[in-house]
Amino acid sequence: MCIPMDLSAPMNIQVTPRSGYGILVEQLDGPVAAYHGDTLLAQSSRAKVMYETRLSPVVYFPKDDLLVDMEKACSKTTFCPFKGTAHYRDLILPGKKELCGAVWSYDETLPEAHQIQGHVGFIPEALDRLDLGQNRIEAPDYGNISGPLVDWLLREAAFLPTPEEFTLALVHKLQEQGLPISRLTILSWALHPRIAGHHYLWEKGVTGVKTMSPSYEIHEKPEFKNSPLRHVSKGLGGLRYRLSGALPSEDFPILKDLRDKGATDYVAMPLPFSDGRINVLTAAADQPDGFSTADLGLIFECSAVIARYYEVFMQRENAQAVLETYVGKRSGARVLGGNIRRGDGDEIDAAIMFCDLRGSTLLEESLPRDQYIHLLNQFFETTSDVVHENGGEVLKFIGDAVLAVFPAGQNPADARAQALAAARAIVAALAEIEPCPTMPCMECAIGIASGSVLYGNIGSQERLDFTVIGQAANIAARLGDYGKTVGHRIVVSRDILTETSDAKPLGHVKLHNVSTPVESFAIAAEL
């Protein structure tokens, strides 16, 4: 809603404003003048005062009665579900002094505020003095907000564990308050490498809440570009449409679809997050009269609290997504579960895989940077997918190599078999990638070892790394390096194999920084 002026001075009451949600506009008697310093900004005998629930009264002047120049609309807008979208404009004072965003106006008011069409209001900072003449104005006491929705938001809503459950409960509380709601959606932007956000949809007659999680490609799709969601999320203000009559020529396609389904009223309003991102709430009504001013006022006044709940849900999901993206699902779950201090972790039995892209130094020197990065990303994605499909987890990318862990749990033999199967599958998958004309086929060198490792946090107090520490990890890396020198793509330690008939013995190999020679075997890429 618009920023009101401070009219706290004692004044003769012209009207008796209504309590509760609503808008009341009254004509003021005689001349009213607005000043900035000694500059008379506006003077009018047609000024009006608007009483709006829980806001100070605001005096509106006809645009024609402004006595200084008004620039075109600046970028700032605000939205009110009763009045529409307010556009702010600069004023040019004598001497070319600018008052930035000094006035607002509703270029297309909603029906509840039609009386201020063609009028402007002043932000408090623009006014040094408001001469009301014979008029005296007093703000009414609107009392406290209460009711089922407010009580629920303050007491029970915080215990709902998911945004879907919160959305469904929110709908029920709005219905309990008497709102004729037939459809409600929430668009919440996410911080995720693949998902742009979540769109929660409830429709009357449909069980539960549907969740859609579009990729970033949504920004280029016509159904989003031509939707109220994009309009509101870009900071262009909220929208309100009565659907029972003729729709404006520039309407959004969804409005006709909703009207065909029986909707009579539609509103889209911003749900701002504390980081500046603008999310969106939309609601449709199916009763003949649509939403009342009180209905929309209730949603609007509670919108900031509703937004904070969704922000909490998104922050929790964002934390999980970021951790899973950078440290893996298992590791991310451990960190979110409380393993956040240096030294936190477990001694586990695991198979460790180290997979290195062969010839990467030469590739980096011979390929353009963008092609080399593309090749690396293909290698990492292929390797990661195979590891995950075989029950492992990628812990990190180290230069042009992948470090993966296959926790043994109660079945060490299964973990080792999974690591071996993953190694073979990686070699096969890389061979199937068709290179670009200027890009060679990808080959890798894989080392696998097993043993007891520390699975947890190491590092400084300010910078931690969730990884595996132990001889098995060191041996796996060295076996991969050794495989390069002897021409084998997969080299494993003896303890990886349940039997050795299909493996080529390499003897006890002396590895760098490993005190004892490791009995090693070369594994064929194909069974």
* Statement to judge: residues 174 and 215 lie in one domain: yes
Mean pLDDT on 511-517: 88
Q: Which two tokens stand for residue 450?
A: 């097993």
Q: Where are the alpha helices (DSSP H) in 130-221?
A: 148-155, 163-176
The residue from 66, 98, 131 where one domain ends is: 131
Q: Is residue 498 part of a domain?
A: yes
Cα 491 to Cα 419: distance, rounded to the nearest angstrom: 12
The pLDDT value given to residue 404: 92
Mean pLDDT on 66-72: 90
CA nearest 77: which of 234, 206, 204, 191?
234
* Statement to judge: residues 176 and 282 lie in one domain: yes
* Statement to judge: residues 74 and 171 lie in one domain: no
The pLDDT value given to residue 16: 43
Q: Is residue 139 part of a domain?
A: no
CATH number, domain with residue 236: 3.30.450.40
Query: Between β-strands 23-27 and 32-36, what pairing exists: parallel, antiparallel or unpaired?
Result: unpaired
The pLDDT value given to residue 339: 58
The pLDDT value given to residue 525: 75
The residue from 299, 325, 351 where one domain ends is: 325
* Statement to judge: residues 295 and 439 lie in one domain: no
Is 80 exceeded by the pLDDT of residue 187? Answer: yes
Cα 473 to Cα 478: distance, rounded to the nearest angstrom: 9
Q: Which residues of 458-472 are buried (b: 16+ CB within 10 A; e: fewer)?
A: eeeeeebebbbebbb
Cα 400 to Cα 304: distance, rounded to the nearest angstrom: 46
Q: Looking at per-residue confidence, does 483 or 333 come out higher?
A: 483
The residue from 131, 161, 184 where one domain ends is: 131
* Statement to judge: residues 344 and 471 lie in one domain: yes
SS3 call for 358: coil
* Statement to judge: residues 170 and 283 lie in one domain: yes
CATH number, domain with residue 457: 3.30.70.1230
The pLDDT value given to residue 144: 59
Cα 271 to Cα 253: distance, rounded to the nearest angstrom: 22
Cα 383 to Cα 377: distance, rounded to the nearest angstrom: 10
Cα 103 to Cα 123: distance, rounded to the nearest angstrom: 6
The pLDDT value given to residue 13: 40
Q: Looking at per-residue confidence, does 204 or 245 come out higher?
A: 204
* Statement to judge: residues 458 and 489 lie in one domain: yes
* Statement to judge: residues 480 and 502 lie in one domain: yes
Cα 96 to Cα 91: distance, rounded to the nearest angstrom: 9
Q: Is residue 3 part of a domain?
A: no
Q: Is residue 13 part of a domain?
A: no
CATH number, domain with residue 66: 2.170.150.40
The pLDDT value given to residue 395: 85
The pLDDT value given to residue 437: 61
Q: Lowest-pLDDT range, 18-22, 399-403, 450-454?
A: 18-22
Is 70 exceeded by the pLDDT of residue 344? Answer: no
Q: Is residue 5 part of a domain?
A: no
Is 80 exceeded by the pLDDT of residue 250? Answer: no
The pLDDT value given to residue 328: 63
* Statement to judge: residues 286 and 374 lie in one domain: no
The pLDDT value given to residue 185: 97
The pLDDT value given to residue 17: 39
pLDDT digits (tens, 9 = 90+) for 81-121: 778 888 999 999 988 888 999 999 998 888 888 999 999 99
Is 90 exceeded by the pLDDT of residue 283? Answer: yes
* Statement to judge: residues 255 and 376 lie in one domain: no
CA nearest 58: which of 78, 37, 38?
78
For residue 309, give Cα distances in angstroms to 58, 154, 280, 316: 31, 11, 13, 11
Q: Are 53 and 73 in contact (CB under 8 A)?
A: no
Cα 206 to Cα 182: distance, rounded to the nearest angstrom: 10
User: 18: Cβ–Cβ under 8 A, 6 or more apart, which residues?
Assistant: 24, 51, 140
* Statement to judge: residues 49 and 170 lie in one domain: no
Cα 431 to Cα 489: distance, rounded to the nearest angstrom: 12
| pLDDT-based confidence at residue 130 (cuts at 50, 70, 90) | very high
Q: Is residue 18 part of a domain?
A: no
Q: Is residue 10 part of a domain?
A: no
Is 70 exceeded by the pLDDT of residue 330? Answer: no
Q: Which two tokens stand for residue 527?
A: 């069974």
Mean pLDDT on 495-499: 86
The pLDDT value given to residue 11: 39
Q: Is residue 254 part of a domain?
A: yes
| pLDDT-based confidence at residue 143 (cuts at 50, 70, 90) | low
pLDDT digits (tens, 9 = 90+) for 202-241: 999 999 999 999 988 988 888 888 899 998 998 887 888 8
The pLDDT value given to residue 335: 66
The pLDDT value given to residue 150: 85
Is 80 exceeded by the pLDDT of residue 319? Answer: no
pLDDT digits (tens, 9 = 90+) for 287-306: 998 998 888 888 888 888 99
Is 50 exceeded by the pLDDT of residue 323? Answer: yes
Q: Which domain, by its residues, includes 475?
A: 339-523
The pLDDT value given to residue 265: 93
Structural domain count of the chain: 3
Average pLDDT over the chain reads: 84
* Statement to judge: residues 371 and 496 lie in one domain: yes
